[in-house]
Amino acid sequence: MEVKVNKKVKSTTEEDLHSLSKEELIAKIKQLEAHNVQLKCIVQKSLQSREEVTHGKATKKHRPFDFSKCFKRHILLRFYYLGWDYQGFAAQEDSIETIEHHLFAALKKVCLIESRETSNYNRCGRTDKGVSAFHQVISLDVRSKFRPEEQLLEDNLETELDYCSMLNRVLPDDIRCLAWMPMVNPAYSARFDCRSRTYRYFFPRGDLNIAAMEESTRYLVGVHDFRNLCKMDVGNGVVNFVRSIDAISIKPCQVDGSRDASYDMLYVELRGKAFLWHQVRCIMAVLLLVGQGKEEPSVVKELLDVEQNPCKPQYSMASDVPLNLYECLFNEKSIQSADGEEQQVTDGESDLREWIYNEENLRRTISELQGLWTKQSVKATMVREMLKTLQEKYAGDRPICDQPALLIEGVRSKEYCPLLQRQRCESLENRIAHYAKKRRIEVSIKSNDINADGSDEPVSQHSVTDSTNNDAYVDHDVTRIEN
């Protein structure tokens, strides 16, 4: 018997590429592009089949819904979701486990929209993997029972399609539509007309020095360059890290019944218009280090001084599980015109109306949340009773209060190295140069972007864009080149 072993093909080296002619390079690029398209098709088919198996439904052929015979109206929809088991809010090519995927699957299933592309869709925030939201809002055009000129009549609002109940019947249990708002202005955008976003990060008290953490939070209020307190997303065109935190505070949430204060729950609440990629989780990581006594409260002030500390120290972020997009507030008047261009806000009648809640849908949603609370609380109480029994047997000199320690990701070293003494990440300028060289971004320098020393090195005033936690606003001095 003769056996032939197929050796693994080695990847093409840079030297091999230099030896190829122009025609050979073009042929190779075309081959790679075709292979990429083929792989995307395979992934999409795999995801589709997996979704059918997950929902246990065979593919059925339905008569297409005729949207040409329907009226449309522009609305805001308010959702909550528990994002712990999802890959983030925004839809992704290689995953169906996103909030947006399930939202649009539900919207199309109940025939409220024909497609995402034709729905005039905008989202208020774009939360990351594992992050939850109590007040996520989207704006879009949906099917209506009434003509446009009759849609805002009081009686018609009461008898309009029950959007939330329709969606909740087909959404996963941990995603729920809470309310909808009829819009006067068809250009009103959940993204561009959101004037503030509030996040809450929940954590146990443990042995944290809350007073020191509160002292640290005072440095964060106002306009700062947060490049050392976020994950820089230069590859996606984000090169301006100046943001404003309007308010930040630490508040008690739940008191432990056994009078052991280390098991009390608190939360940090941050309010601002726009947040950077992983900004809240990086801030929380530093605040927890301050609370543990490993850093002085002034370390936050040092990290915000990008002239003295232009490169971010390497540290692990706080866990994504306790983070919640808790509230969003909106402009009374839209800054968007009908053609999508930004316009000056003028006084006049508000574009906003009251949120419409359906009592039966609200009752059902509260009941479902109570059921979830019961399951999680029973588990937490069981673990708490086990801890009480073990702590009665423990005779050590110091009480064990490691509850908050596990909220910081990564490996804990035996000897703690202060933040400002750690190895640093690349500077912003080096990252911009790196991605510009790879042709991922193109940087145009404005005349007023010349540095104080007269050089025209790229500086951080090129772009204002939201990276992940929301999509608040975009400036086009940095252009991302799509692959």
Element (H, E) at 144: strand 132-144
Are residues 324 and 198 in contact, defined by beta-carbon separation less than 8 angstroms?
no
Q: Do 322 and 202 contact (CB within 8 A), yes or no?
A: yes
CA-derived radius of gyration, the chain = 26
The span from the CA of 107 to the CA of 98, in Å, is 15
Q: If you ran DSSP here, which 8-state letter would residue 382 be given?
A: H
Show the tokens assigned to 464: 């204002």
Hey, what are 378's tokens?
């029973």
Q: Is residue 21 helix, strand or coil?
A: coil
Q: How far apart are CA 373 and CA 85, in angstroms?
A: 17
Strands 132-144 vs 122-123: parallel, antiparallel or unpaired: antiparallel
In whole angstroms, give the CA distance from residue 456 to residue 448.
10
Amino acid occupying residue 381? T
Are 190 and 124 within 8 A, CB to CB? yes
Contacts of 394 (CB under 8 A, 6+ apart): 400
- What are phi and psi for residue 112, nearest 5 degrees? -85, -30
DSSP code per residue over 204-246: E-TT--HHHHHHHHHHHSEEEE-GGGS---GGGT----EEEEE
Other CB atoms within a 10 A radius of the CB of residue 134 amount to 17
Strand, coil or helix: 203: strand
Q: Which residue has the tokens 């009759």?
A: 150
The answer to whether 148 touches 71, Cβ cutoff 8 Å, is yes
Q: Is 77 helix (H, G, I), strand (E, B) or coil?
A: strand
Residue type, 430: N
Catalytic residues: 128
**Which residue carries 């819009």 as its tokens?**
183
Cα torsion at 102, 99, 78, 407 (round to 10°)?
150
Rounded CA separation 353/332 (Å): 9
Residue 50 contacts by C-beta under 8 Å, 6 or more apart in sequence?
Answer: 96
